[in-house]
Amino acid sequence: MAKLTRRRHKRAVSSTRRTRLIGLPHSKPAGGERPPPRKKAAQEARDAAATIASLSRRLVRAQRRIVLLEAHAETDFLLDISNRRGFERELDRSIAYVKRYGVSATLLVVDVDRLKPINDRFGHAAGDHLLKVIVAVLTAHIRRSDMLGRLGGDEFGILLWNLDAKDARAKAAALERAVEKTPCEYRGRQLSLAVSIGVAALGGDEAAASVLERADQAMYARKAARRKRSAAALRR
């Protein structure tokens, strides 16, 4: 009987050893079953792809934000046209384009006449309204390929393409007449509109500041001539 018991014990031990050798599980490992390596790698790949996609969307939004901020930095908020910074940047590009391709382009400097008396008498809101009307007139009388910008205060710049000096002066005179003929009413009162325009052709070897200075001088000469004519007409 004792021998039989020892044989059964040996058989049980031997069976346990065989079970361990062939890898049959006796109990679950702590923490639950581990996922197969392939499934784990696939999940990590999906997580990485989701992270990359999220970063890409953030980058696109940041780039759009930068473009928007740059556009705002070069825009006059009152008149919704380029400010001096934006206009001078475009002027630099235009000069380089003229130098490279030999095309013709002209800069007009526009100064609003008698804006200060209007601001003093009716307030700056009236002056702002007058500027908006003048910008609307100038925009309506230039081509989409041309550019209008505010240089500061009551002074504007216009870039005209493919015009020689004679045609540019004629265009400047036409813009002056168009502004003068436009009615402008502010709170039941009529405001008179007038501008003086100087003309300067773009040179390929000239800096933007130099072109602006020439056009500015031409504008002041034009303003002085218009004042003399007005004074002479009053004396008659």
Which of 128, 154, 167, 205 is catalytic? The answer is 154
Full DSSP string of 74-126? TEETTTTEE-HHHHHHHHHHHHHHHHHH---EEEEEEEETTHHHHHHHH-HHH
Count other C-beta atoms under 10 Å from residue 126's C-beta. 19
CA–CA separation, 156 and 204 (whole Å): 22
Q: Which residues contact 82 (CB under 8 A, 6 or more apart)?
A: 74, 75, 76, 90, 147, 148, 149, 150
Annotated catalytic residue 47: no
Terminal alpha carbon distance of the chain: 152
> Residue 176 is encoded by which pair of tokens?
């002056």
> Residue 142 is encoded by which pair of tokens?
């230039």
Q: Which element (helix H / strand E) includes 152?
A: strand 147-152
List residues with catalytic annotation.
154
